[in-house]
């Protein structure tokens, strides 16, 4: 491996910034000499470090799909999860701002339209 000069502040960089800088490093001939190693390291950084987010989603699904609500279809559960996330990201139910578009989209004519896919249960 030819000698390559790393940036001065590489010890203070975030891990992903460091590996991106390694990815774009070139030797005197303009070749990216550590391209494969850096690409591999960046690919590894994509993976979550724990399964906490998956567990949170399954926990929310268990709270949504109770015995009285056991016939909810996948689309409804997905919509409820998205709604919950949207409200939480906006600061909770107290700070959540309901828009005019949202109000128009929850009318009974829109909520209870027949689905074209016969495999969807209601």
- What SS3 class is residue 104? helix
Span 83-105, average pLDDT: 89
107 and 59 share one domain: yes
Give 122's pLDDT tier (boundaries 50, 70, 90): very low
Residue 121 lies in a domain: no
Look over the chain and give the mean of its residue pLDDT values, rounded to a whole number: 84
Contact 4, 32 (CB under 8 A): no
Residue 117 lies in a domain: no
| Digit-coded pLDDT (tens) for 27-58 | 888 888 889 999 999 999 998 878 888 899 99
Residue 15 lies in a domain: yes
34 and 80 share one domain: no
pLDDT over 90, % of the chain: 41
Domain holding 60, by residue range, is: 52-111
Question: What confidence score (pLDDT) does residue 64 get?
Answer: 92
28 and 57 share one domain: no
- Inter-CA distances, 6 with 26, 34, 75, 101, Å: 11, 12, 50, 51
Higher pLDDT, 107 or 36: 36
Overall domain count for the chain: 2
């Amino acid at each position: 491996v030819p000698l390559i000069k790393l940036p001065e502040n590489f010890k203070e960089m975030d891990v992903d910034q460091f590996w991106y800088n390694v990815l774009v490093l070139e030797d005197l001939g303009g070749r990216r000499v550590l391209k494969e190693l850096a690409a591999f390291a960046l690919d590894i950084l994509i993976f979550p470090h724990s399964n906490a987010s998956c567990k949170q989603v399954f926990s929310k699904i268990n709270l949504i799909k109770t015995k009285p609500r056991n016939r909810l279809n996948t689309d409804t559960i997905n919509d409820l999860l998205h709604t919950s996330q949207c409200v939480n990201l906006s600061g909770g139910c107290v700070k959540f701002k309901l828009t005019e578009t949202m109000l128009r989209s929850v009318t009974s004519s829109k909520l209870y339209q027949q689905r074209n896919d016969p495999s969807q249960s209601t």
